[in-house]
A = this chain, B = another copy of it.
């Protein structure tokens, strides 16, 4: 292991005081050019890197951001978080921050973890993936003035805090439009039961587009919990109606896969999230710009950290339709 090189080491090497080294690092403009060059050269030669722990003790900032990692829930949607995490880590590193992981069983447990993380590691901020109606976690954080950004907007109060989200409605609208343009008229929607902000938003996009083209969505709407079997059930149910649909816009790749199986491949189907499953079976799906979303989350969070803590910011990103063989 290389010797530990501190500010003192650099100072001695560059023949200046420790303070001057600190100035070069934190307020370069107040140091004379020639001195600064000498110090910078010493830093490079010695390979000096500031010790975060010491810096944190002094400044109270850890340069650490936290995000929760969830167990792959229903299996099919796990890669979404994966891509988001990678994007976050990359963007954070570019800004001089690091990402720390934590797990939690539920909201109450997560709040307990917030408390621990804050007390022990002095975390600078949190990125929450997803938020519910009346989220207790965001309230807890806000009450304590802990900086945070959510990926997913708060449905009950859009401007309460900063968030980044994908325009879900635009995604399903795009899928619906594509189906209409390729000749379909009876286009069904296989979604989640009403009540989830994201699901309702995606339903809206389908419904509005249908109406915009003077197509009647009545009776073409089904809702079920996420899952392949549920998607198949919904599709079968729709196919047995008097005037059955010729295409399905689905709220997730899981439901889409089910619909695809039920339809025997003879109907057009679109999914949502562009998961590996969609890529594997050639399912046309709405793709979220996850790396971009992650980067914007980091941007917003760091903006909160660095700049004035005044006001919140919202970012709405556009998804894109990845056309494959099923639509």
Interface set of A (CB-CB < 8 Å, partner B): 1-2, 47, 49-54, 56-57, 62, 64, 69-72, 75-79, 81-83, 85-86, 88-90, 93, 98-103, 115-117, 119-122, 144-146, 228, 254, 257, 275-277, 279-281
Query: 5 nearest interchain CB pairs?
Result: A49-B119, A78-B79, A53-B56, A75-B276, A89-B101
Residue of B1, B56, B69, B121 near A145 (CB, 8 A) is: B1
- Chain B residue at minimum C-beta to C-beta distance from A257: B280
Q: What is the copy number of this chain in the assembly?
A: 2
* Chain B min CB distance to A279 (Å): 5
12 A-B residue pairs with CB within 8 Å: A49-B120, A53-B53, A53-B121, A69-B82, A69-B85, A71-B83, A75-B280, A76-B279, A82-B82, A90-B103, A100-B100, A254-B280
Residue of B81, B89, B281 near A103 (CB, 8 A) is: B89
Separation of A64 and B99 alpha carbons in the complex (Å): 11
In the bound complex, residues from chain B placing their C-beta under 8 Å from that of A115 are: 47
In the bound complex, residues from chain B placing their C-beta under 8 Å from that of A280 are: 75-76, 228, 254, 257, 277
Decide if B103 touches A279 in the complex (CB within 8 Å): no
- Chain B residue at minimum C-beta to C-beta distance from A77: B276
In the bound complex, residues from chain B placing their C-beta under 8 Å from that of A90 are: 103
Residue of B56, B71, B279 near A86 (CB, 8 A) is: B71
Decide if B89 touches A83 in the complex (CB within 8 Å): no
In the bound complex, residues from chain B placing their C-beta under 8 Å from that of A81 are: 82
Separation of A100 and B228 alpha carbons in the complex (Å): 34
Separation of A10 and B98 alpha carbons in the complex (Å): 31
Separation of A81 and B276 alpha carbons in the complex (Å): 14
Beyond contacts A78-B276, A101-B101, A254-B280: 9 other A-B pairs, Cβ-Cβ < 8 A, are A47-B115, A51-B119, A51-B122, A75-B79, A76-B279, A76-B280, A228-B280, A276-B277, A281-B281
Separation of A70 and B101 alpha carbons in the complex (Å): 15
Residue of A47, A53, A89 with most chain B CB atoms under a 10 A cut-off: A53
* Chain B min CB distance to A126 (Å): 14
In the bound complex, residues from chain B placing their C-beta under 8 Å from that of A89 are: 69, 101-103
In the bound complex, residues from chain B placing their C-beta under 8 Å from that of A51 are: 57, 119-120, 122
Decide if B98 touches A100 in the complex (CB within 8 Å): yes
In the bound complex, residues from chain B placing their C-beta under 8 Å from that of A275 are: 276
In the bound complex, residues from chain B placing their C-beta under 8 Å from that of A121 are: 52-53, 98
